[in-house]
Amino acid sequence: MDKQLQQIRKDFPILNQKVNDEPLVYLDNAATSQKPNQVIDEIVRYYQNDNANTRRGVHTLGERATEEFEAARQKVQQFINAKESREIIFTKGATDSLNLVASTYGEDNIEAGDEIVISVMEHHSNLIPWQQLANRKKAVLKYIGLTADGQLDMIDAKKQITDKTRIVSIAHASNVLGVTNDIKQLAKITHAHNAIMVADGAQAVPHMPVDVQDLDVDFYAFSGHKMLAPMGIGVLYGKADLLKSMPPYQYGGEMIDFVEKYQSTWTDIPWKFEAGTQNVSGAVGLGKAIDYLSSIGMENVENYEKELVSYVLPKLLEIDGLTVYGPQDADHHSGVISFNLKGLHPHDVATALDMDGVAIRAGHHCAQPLMKYLDLVATARASFYIYNNKQDADGLIQAICDTKEFFKV
């Protein structure tokens, strides 16, 4: 992987710069990933050669754009092993995808007294849509707790999921705690109670192989911008029978069959959920990002990130006054590492690290209930990806030590 890593880093021009006169160490990948030349060039090529609206014109450019848009859909299908391409809906991102499920399936299938089960570690995008649905419908929103080391408590999951449960929605991987949840087992528990399983895959699909048929999820959401693709493009996978039974999410052009003055009918899935002009260049860019990741191999991506975590996590744990949240062993920890330095606010830590050219995130990470559960205001968070190396890890460690020395903590 070392020789391949050298080539991978060359594909990301944004990494070749200095920040505050220091070489950039980009460790905010859980927020958004950088884009390789191959994706950037593909988007430019599309706009220079094939730009047109899809499914509307019979002219050549329109046909090319439509073919590329649908080819991207097929790449997504193959990448996550969906049964058929019509189970892939293009959205703005994971947030949009989860809102789509809550606003369509949820609106039609949740009644007063029904239960919706999520976990305390959820990102706001997989919390607020269910919270607001429960409020509207007078349903019961329930939370699965965590074990002492920050993993999802599967014993509690079996208690929270009951015959009254209609929807379970859980992050496949946490954006704060660095844990990967057993979605396949959760789906088994959920289906045993005749409920549906939704997974937020925003932090999983970029970092590990995902097979939605093997997981047996009913819906799976993720974003392109966390997996080398442009911002503003995302995916909702849904089982075909469920998608066919759901009402449209939005109304307008291209999602219709017939429109009369006082009544309309809808076209087939997936286009029923893709009203209006679509983000064709985003889909094309996502397709090229999938090509790039597939050329590396998602097993290799996962193994390489584990290698990096095995290198950096013990070094972080050795720093006096530094607390790492989530599992303390590399075997159970993803490339997302949240921590705090005793005596310093996380924002001060992130600002100090930026002065050394190290880009991390600080705040509540759109997970305020989790922060309250952990009795924290915020954390600092470093997150690694395929173009990071051990030198980046060393840069993080050195910047933290410099910060400790500067603030004398």
Alpha-carbon gap, residue 198 to 171, rounded angstroms: 9
Query: What pLDDT shows up at residue 385?
Result: 98
Tell me which amino acid residue 387 is: Y
Angle at which helices 298-317 and 280-296 cross, to 10°:
80
Query: What pLDDT shows up at residue 244?
Result: 97
Q: What residues are annotated to the active site?
A: 366
Q: How many CB atoms lie within 10 A of CB 280?
A: 22
Burial of 50-79, coded b for 16+ CB within 10 Å and e otherwise, reads: bebbbbeeeeeebebbbebbbebbebbbeb
Alpha-carbon gap, residue 33 to 92, rounded angstroms: 16
pLDDT tens by residue, 193-212: 999 999 999 999 999 999 99
Residues in a beta bridge with 361: 381
pLDDT confidence tier of residue 4, bands split at 50, 70 and 90? confident
Alpha-carbon gap, residue 120 to 382, rounded angstroms: 21
Cβ partners under 8 Å of residue 84, min gap 6: 77, 240
Instruction: Name the one residue in this structure whose structure tokens are 């080819």.
Output: 71
- Per the structure block, which two tokens stand in for 182? 């057993």
pLDDT tens by residue, 95-106: 999 999 999 999
Tell me which amino acid residue 212 is: V
pLDDT tens by residue, 200-245: 999 999 999 999 999 999 999 999 999 999 999 999 999 999 999 9
Burial of 267 (0-12, 13-18, 19+ CB in 10 A): middle
Closest Cα to residue 386, out of 268, 301, 296, 271?
301
pLDDT above 70 as % of the chain: 99
Locate CATH 3.40.640.10 in the chain: 50-295
pLDDT tens by residue, 273-323: 999 999 999 999 999 999 999 999 999 999 999 999 999 999 999 999 999
Alpha-carbon gap, residue 223 to 203, rounded angstroms: 9
pLDDT higher for 87 or 58? 87
Average pLDDT over every residue of 43-55:
95
Cβ partners under 8 Å of residue 388, min gap 6: 25, 26, 27, 29, 308
Query: What pLDDT shows up at residue 313?
Result: 97
Query: What pLDDT shows up at residue 56?
Result: 74
Q: State in words which class domain 2-28+297-407 has.
A: alpha beta
Burial of 377 (0-12, 13-18, 19+ CB in 10 A): middle
Are 29 and 383 a contacting pair, CB within 8 Å?
yes
pLDDT confidence tier of residue 339, bands split at 50, 70 and 90? very high
Locate CATH 3.90.1150.10 in the chain: 2-28+297-407
pLDDT tens by residue, 135-181: 999 999 999 999 999 999 999 999 999 999 999 999 999 999 999 99
Instruction: Name the one residue in this structure whose structure tokens are 């606010």.
Output: 345
Tell me which amino acid residue 195 is: A
What CATH number was assigned to the domain covering residues 50-295?
Answer: 3.40.640.10
How do 234-238 and 256-259 pair as beta strands?
unpaired
CA atoms within 13 A on the CB side of 51: 10
| SS3 per residue for 147-163 | CCCCCECHHHHHHHCCC
Query: What pLDDT shows up at residue 2?
Result: 67
Average pLDDT, the chain: 96
Alpha-carbon gap, residue 320 to 284, rounded angstroms: 47
Query: What pLDDT shows up at residue 378?
Result: 97
Residue 3 has pLDDT above 90, yes or no: no
pLDDT tens by residue, 362-399: 999 999 999 999 999 999 999 999 999 999 999 999 99
Query: What pLDDT shows up at residue 142?
Result: 98
